[in-house]
Amino acid sequence: MVKFEICGIVICMLFYAHQFLIVEKYKISSWRKNMNRKKIINVAVIAHVDAGKSTLVDALLSQSGVFKENEVVVEQVMDSNDLERERGITIYSKNCAIEHNGTKINIVDTPGHADFSSEVERIMKTVDTVILLVDSSEGPMPQTRVVLQKSLERGLNPILFVNKVDKRDERAEEVVNMSFDLFAELGATDEQLDFPILYGVAKHGIAMATMDDDSTNLEPLFDLLLKHVDPYPDYDNEPLQLQISTLGYDDYLGRLGTGRVTKGTITSGAMVSVSKRDGTILKTKIGILYVNEGLSRVEKKEAYSGDIVTFSGMPTISIGETICNIDSVLPMAMIEIERPTLSMNFLINSSPFVGRSGSKVTSRQIRTRLLKELETNIGLEVIELDNVEGFKVNGRGELHLSILLENMRREGFEISVSKPEVIYKNIDGKDYEPFEKVNIALPDAFAGTIISQVNLRKGIMQNMMSENGYTKLEYLVPTRGLIGYRSEFINSTKGQGILDKSFDSYQLHAGEIVNHRNGVFISKETGKSMAYSLFHLSERGKMFIDPATDIYEGMIVGLNSRKNDLVVNACKNKQLTNVRASGTDESVKLLDPRRFTLEEALEFIADDELVEITPDAIRLRKKLLNEKDRKRANKQYAELV
C-alpha cells in the first residue's frame, strides 16, 4: 500500500515538473520572440518622374550604414534592371530595409511614370505612410496627382518633402501652397491636410525642418518618420493574413511571392491555406522565407506582423491572393487596379526577313510569353485575336507596352506591332474616350505654335502663365490626340520644351482628329539599298535607311515631303557604261537618316502600317506588302465608305 502511495506521489511530482517545464519553455520562447521582434514601419517613396525618389532612397541607405566604407556604390542603386539603368527611370517597385534607433524601416521605391502606376497601386496596402517628393521649382506635376490620390484613398497620412531647394529658381513656399491645394482638391481629410513638411536636397543627403535650418544630413527625416508614424501593432497572436503584392522569380527556387504580414506570424516550412483569386482554397507549404535587411534578402525561420517578407514554394501563387493559417482562412479584399486605356495588336512577324536574328517567332511562343507577363504585370490584359495569328494587348500607355516589347526583343522574339489605339467606353449609349492631363513648359517664343498644335488635337486649355521668359500650359487632351505628337513637339520647340502627361479621366468623344503626318516612301522590291537611289530620293523627303541596308517590298524607307505615299525603287544603282565621263559624275553625299527608337516608331506609324521588331533591328512596313494588294484594299474601303 505504501509503495502505491509513493508511486502516486512520484507521478504527481513528475507531472507538475513537466507542466512547469512547459510554462518555462513558453516563457523563454516568448522572451526570445520579444527580443527578436523589432518595431516596424513601412514607407513608400512616391513622386513624379525625375523628382528624386531613387536618389533619396540612396541617401537613406547610405546614412543608415548599409554600405561599407570601402564599398563602391552606384547611383540609383535600387534601379537594378538593365532597362531602368539605360532609360534612367524606375519601372518596378522594389523593397529595401534600414534600421534607425531600434526601429526597422522597410522602404518601397516606386515608379514615377504614369504608365507604371499599377506598380504603385498594388503596394499601397503594404505601407504605413508615404514620402511625397515635389520639385521645389516645378511643383506638383501630373503624376504627382495620380500617386497622391492612391495614397489618400488608402487613408495614409503623407509626408511632403520639397526636394532640390538648392536650385536657383526654387520657390519652395509657393510649392507647399500648391501641394496643399492639390491635397484639398483630391478630397484629403483634415488629418491628411495637416501634413508635415520637410525641405531638402536628396542628392546631397540633406533634409531640413525649415528653409533656414543648417542640417547637413537626413536626421530630421528619420526623426519625423519615427514621430509621425506609429509602429505597426503587434498582431502576432492573431490568425495569419498575408496578401501577395509582388511576384518574382529565382532560377533555383522558382516563383517568389512578396507581401506584408498583416496579422499573425509566418514560419518557414509551415503548412498554410491560400485563398485564390477564383475563391478556391489551396493547401500548400511555405518554402524558404526571407526578409529585407539593407539591399539584401536574409533567410529567416519566422517573420512577424507588419514586416514585408518574400517566400518560395508556391509555383501558382498570384498577386492579390491571401496566405492564411491552415485552419483559419480569412481572405483579404483583392487588389483593384485601374483598367488599361491603350491597346496594340501583337502579331507574328510575316516579313521576308523573319527568323534572321530572332529564335522565337511563332504565335505559340508569343502566347506563352504574354501569359507569363500577366502573372506579374497586373496592369496588362491579353486577348487572343480571331482569324489572325496574334493578340490584342491592353496597357496603361505607350511606354508601358514598349517596355514589354523591348524585353521580348532582348529575349529573342520577332514580332510585328500595330499602331496604338485608345480603348473606348460606352456609357448610356455614348462613346467616352480617355483624356490626359498635360503640363507643358517652353520658351515664350514657341507658345503660339504649340497652342495651335494642341488645339488642333482637341486639347482644352485649363491654365496658362508666363514667367521669366517661359510659358507654362495646362491642357486636357484626348489620349489619341497625343499619339505621335511628342516628336512634333520636340521639333517645334527645338528641343527646349518639356511635356508631361498622365491619365485624367474618361470624357465624351471629342470628334475627329486630323492626321498631319506626310506620306512615306515604300520600297518597290527586295534587295540592298543603293546610295545612288537614296541620294535622288532624299531631294523629295527624309530617308530612314543607310546605303547597303537589306530592304524588302512593302518596307517603309523614308518620309515623303508631301501627303501621299510613294512607291520607290531604293535598290536602283547608276547604270554603268564603257563611256568615261569623270567630269560629269555626281558626287554622292547623303544626309544622316532618321533613326527611330521603339517608342518613336510606335508613335510614327499609321493605321495601315506595322513596326517589325527583331533583336537587331526596328523596321517600319505596310500591313500589306504588295502594291496591288494595297490598291485593292483601298478600293474596297472606299466603296464601303
Question: 150 pLDDT band (50/70/90 cuts)?
Answer: confident
Report CA torsion sign: 32, 36, 39, 40. Answer: negative
Choose among 406, 213, 245: nearest CA to 318: 245
Q: Is residue 139 part of a domain?
A: yes
CA distance 154 to 122: 11
Classify residue 271 by its DSSP letter: E
User: For residues 586 and 565, which has the higher predicted lDDT (pLDDT)?
Assistant: 565
Give SS3 for 169.
coil
Q: How many domains does the chain have?
A: 4
Highest mean pLDDT among 178-187, 569-578, 581-590: 178-187
Question: 23 pLDDT band (50/70/90 cuts)?
Answer: very low
Task: From residue 549, give the alpha-carbon distance in Å to each of 381, 521, 523, 534, 539.
Answer: 36, 15, 12, 11, 19
Classify residue 203 by its DSSP letter: G
Reply yes or no on whether the pLDDT at 332 is more than 70.
yes
Question: 379 pLDDT band (50/70/90 cuts)?
Answer: confident
Reply yes or no on whether the pLDDT at 310 is more than 50.
yes
Residues 213 and 280 in one domain: no
Reply yes or no on whether the pLDDT at 32 is more than 60.
no
**pLDDT average, residue stretch 334-357:** 88
CATH code for the domain of 598 = 2.40.50.250
Residues 455 and 537 in one domain: no
- Check residue 54 and give its pLDDT: 84
- Check residue 347 and give its pLDDT: 94
Residues 180 and 252 in one domain: no
Task: From residue 167, give the alpha-carbon distance in Å to each of 197, 200, 287.
Answer: 18, 11, 50
Residues 461 and 545 in one domain: no
- Check residue 460 and give its pLDDT: 92
Reply yes or no on whether the pLDDT at 189 is more than 70.
yes
Reply yes or no on whether the pLDDT at 35 is more than 70.
no
Q: What is the pLDDT of residues 461-471, one digit of tens each?
A: 998 988 878 89
CA distance 56 to 570: 52
Identify whether the C-beta of residue 528 lies closer than 8 Å to the C-beta of residue 511. no
Q: Compute the residue count for the chain.
A: 641
Reply yes or no on whether the pLDDT at 527 is more than 70.
yes
Classify residue 238 by its DSSP letter: S
Q: Is residue 133 part of a domain?
A: yes
* Burial zone of 522 (CB within 10 Å; 0-12 exposed, 13-18 middle, 19+ buried): buried
Pairing status of strand 520-523 against strand 556-560: antiparallel
Residues 464 and 493 in one domain: yes
Residues 629 and 480 in one domain: no
Choose among 337, 347, 315: nearest CA to 381: 337
**pLDDT average, residue stretch 192-212:** 92
Question: 27 pLDDT band (50/70/90 cuts)?
Answer: very low
Q: Is residue 255 part of a domain?
A: yes
- Check residue 618 and give its pLDDT: 94
Reply yes or no on whether the pLDDT at 583 is more than 80.
no
Chosen domain end from 165, 199, 228: 228
- Check residue 117 and give its pLDDT: 74
Q: Is residue 335 part of a domain?
A: no
Residues 170 and 214 in one domain: yes
- Check residue 487 and give its pLDDT: 78
Report how far Cα 128 is from the mean position of its chain's Cα atoms. 22
Identify whether the C-beta of residue 441 lies closer than 8 Å to the C-beta of residue 476. no
Give the other-Cβ count within 10 Å of 313's Cβ. Answer: 19
User: For residues 319 and 67, which has the higher predicted lDDT (pLDDT)?
Assistant: 319
Reply yes or no on whether the pLDDT at 550 is more than 50.
yes
Choose among 438, 458, 440, 436: nearest CA to 503: 436
Reply yes or no on whether the pLDDT at 362 is more than 80.
yes
Give SS3 for 173.
helix
- Check residue 69 and give its pLDDT: 58
CA distance 435 to 437: 7
Q: Is residue 252 part of a domain?
A: yes
CATH code for the domain of 256 = 2.40.30.10
Q: What is the pLDDT of residues 471-523, one digit of tens each?
A: 989 999 999 888 878 878 888 898 888 888 878 889 999 888 887 788 999 99
User: For residues 408 and 334, which has the higher predicted lDDT (pLDDT)?
Assistant: 408
Q: Is residue 378 part of a domain?
A: no
Instruction: Say what percent of the chain tops pLDDT 90.
Output: 42
Residues 208 and 310 in one domain: no
CA distance 349 to 389: 10
Residues 221 and 246 in one domain: no
**Cell triple for residue 641?**
465608305
- Check residue 13 and give its pLDDT: 63
CA distance 370 to 347: 12
Residues 558 and 493 in one domain: no
pTM flag (> 0.85): no
CA distance 93 to 116: 9
Which residue bears the cell 543648417? 214
Reply yes or no on whether the pLDDT at 341 is more than 90.
no
Residues 155 and 121 in one domain: yes
CATH code for the domain of 476 = 3.30.70.240
Give the other-Cβ count within 10 Å of 176's Cβ. Answer: 18
Choose among 419, 420, 364: nearest CA to 389: 364
Q: For residue 492, report the phi and psi dihedrals to the nearest 5 degrees.
A: -70, -30
Reply yes or no on whether the pLDDT at 86 is more than 80.
no
Pairing status of strand 425-427 against strand 430-443: antiparallel
Q: Is residue 526 part of a domain?
A: yes
Q: What is the pLDDT of residues 243-301, one digit of tens each?
A: 998 888 787 888 889 999 999 999 999 999 999 888 899 999 999 999 988 888 889 99
Give SS3 for 630.
helix
Question: 92 pLDDT band (50/70/90 cuts)?
Answer: confident
Name beta bridge partners: 346. Answer: 391, 417
Residues 151 and 248 in one domain: no
**What range defines the domain where residue 193 resides?**
39-228
* Burial zone of 23 (CB within 10 Å; 0-12 exposed, 13-18 middle, 19+ buried): exposed
Give the chain's mean pLDDT.
85
Chosen domain end from 298, 325, 352: 325
Identify whether the C-beta of residue 255 lies closer than 8 Å to the C-beta of residue 240. no
Instruction: Report CA Rg, the chain.
Output: 30
**Cell triple for residue 233?**
501593432
Instruction: Say what percent of the chain tops pLDDT 70.
Output: 89
CATH code for the domain of 99 = 3.40.50.300
**Cell triple for residue 254?**
522558382
- Check residue 409 and give its pLDDT: 93
Q: Is residue 153 part of a domain?
A: yes
**Cell triple for residue 94?**
522594389
Reply yes or no on whether the pLDDT at 545 is more than 90.
yes
Give the other-Cβ count within 10 Å of 293's Cβ. Answer: 15
Reply yes or no on whether the pLDDT at 8 is more than 70.
no
Chosen domain end from 173, 199, 228: 228
Q: What is the pLDDT of residues 596-626, one digit of tens each?
A: 988 889 889 988 999 999 999 999 999 999 9
